[in-house]
Amino acid sequence: MKKDVRKAIIAGNWKMNKTPSEAKALLAQMIPLVKDATCEVVACVPYVDLAAAVEATQGTNIKIGAENCHWAESGAFTGEISTGMLKEIGVEYVVLGHSERRQYFGETDETVNKRVKAALAAGLKPIVCVGELLWERECDITEEVVARQIKLDLFDVSEEELQNVVIAYEPVWAIGTGKTATADQAEEVCALIRATIKKLYSPAAAEGITIQYGGSMNDKNADELVGKLNVDGGLIGGASLVADKFAAIVNAASNN
Ligand code: 13P
């Protein structure tokens, strides 16, 4: 197992925070703080902020991502956004299957899979979120739950396409709760995910794929988390809304 064969990615998931002008201001604060990062730096922002965010980060090392996309190219899907729309304005990443979408908006593994395939076909890089609920962990079925999500969410995704996929392990009980998984818990499940990828694809695919941890990751705990062999960066909620906290996490990933 070698950490230097894959890229660590620190991605902010801004969720439903920041208007376009606030987004510009936050990115302007972040740009000088993360400019020397050796890991990939991504900000996933609300749809209406995307154009302003792409413009504000032009010529910098910050990449922009969306927080969801629809699977159809176009059509009668009121309120939805297509991959082509995201691509045209310069978006590179898209968060898919976030637990908040699964919990509050009826997202299923089947619809996550459709979105993943559409994103890949359009040349976007999906950040596919998986993770167990608290009671699933308590019932000791974390391994089954996460392996099932990986198999279903990546169904019919080829090994070549997989090179553009990022996986985020986000235990649902750790999101926005201030309860972080311990570094050992994060490592254990990220390693399980890598083993699942190895079984489904190949040893090379498993070695190459970026697997992030997400859930109450912050400037204080990032160093220990990203120091783990199978944790290739993080997907950050709350702490990604504060420039110096986000930058500290980027630095932790750059130094590991
Ligand atoms: P928090 O970092 O706020 O716990 O959110 C994590 C998350 O859901 C990132 O997608």
pLDDT of residue 253: 95
Distance from the alpha carbon of residue 215 to the mean position of ligand 1, in angstroms: 5
Compute the distance between CA of residue 64 and CA of residue 13 in angstroms, rounded to an integer.
10
Would you state the pLDDT for residue 1? 42
Q: Is 96 in the pocket of ligand 1 (CB under 6 A)?
A: no
DSSP alpha helix (H) spans, the chain: 20-34, 50-56, 83-88, 99-104, 109-121, 134-138, 142-153, 159-162, 183-200, 203-208, 222-226, 243-255
> Which residue, by CA, sits nearest to atom 1 of ligand 1?
237
Catalytic residue among 98, 100, 132, 187: 98
Closest ligand 1 atom to residue 235 Cα is: 9
State how far the Cα of 236 lies from the Cα of 148, in Å rounded to an integer: 24
Residue given tokens 């190895």 in the structure block: 198
Atom of ligand 1 nearest to the CA of 15: 10
Is there an atom of ligand 1 within 6 Å of 180 CB? no
Strand duo 166-169 + 233-236: pairing:
unpaired
Of 16, 100, 175, best ligand 1 pocket probe by most atoms within 8 Å of the beta carbon: 175
CA of 69 to the centre of ligand 1 (A): 19
Are 128 and 96 within 8 A, CB to CB? yes
Q: What's the CA-to-centroid distance between 235 and ligand 1, angstroms?
A: 7
pLDDT in tens, the chain (256 residues): 456 789 899 999 999 999 999 999 999 999 999 999 999 999 999 999 999 999 999 999 999 999 999 999 999 999 999 999 999 999 999 999 999 999 999 999 999 999 999 999 999 999 999 999 999 999 999 999 999 999 999 999 999 999 999 999 999 999 888 788 899 999 999 999 999 999 999 999 999 999 999 999 999 999 999 999 999 999 999 999 999 999 999 999 998 8
Active site residue 170: yes
Report how far ligand 1's centroid is from the alpha carbon of 154 (Å): 22
Q: Which pLDDT score, from 0 to 100, does residue 80 have? A: 98
Instruction: Say if ligand 1 is within 6 A of residue 170 CB.
Output: yes
Atom of ligand 1 at shortest distance to CA of 99? Answer: 8
Helix axes 142-153, 109-121, angle to 10 degrees: 40
What is the per-residue pLDDT for 219?
Answer: 96
0.95 exceeded by pTM: yes
User: From ligand 1's centre to the CA of 88, what distance in Å?
Assistant: 27
Cα–Cα dist 181/171, whole Å: 8
Residue 5, pLDDT score: 83
The pLDDT score that the predictor gives to residue 3 is: 66
Q: List the catalytic residue out of 40, 67, 100, 170.
A: 170
CB neighbour list of residue 17: distance below 8 Å, 6 or more residues apart: 46, 241
How far are the Cα atoms of 75, 140, 166 from residue 147, in angstroms, in the given order?
A: 33, 13, 15
Measured from the Cα of 178, ligand 1's closest atom is 4
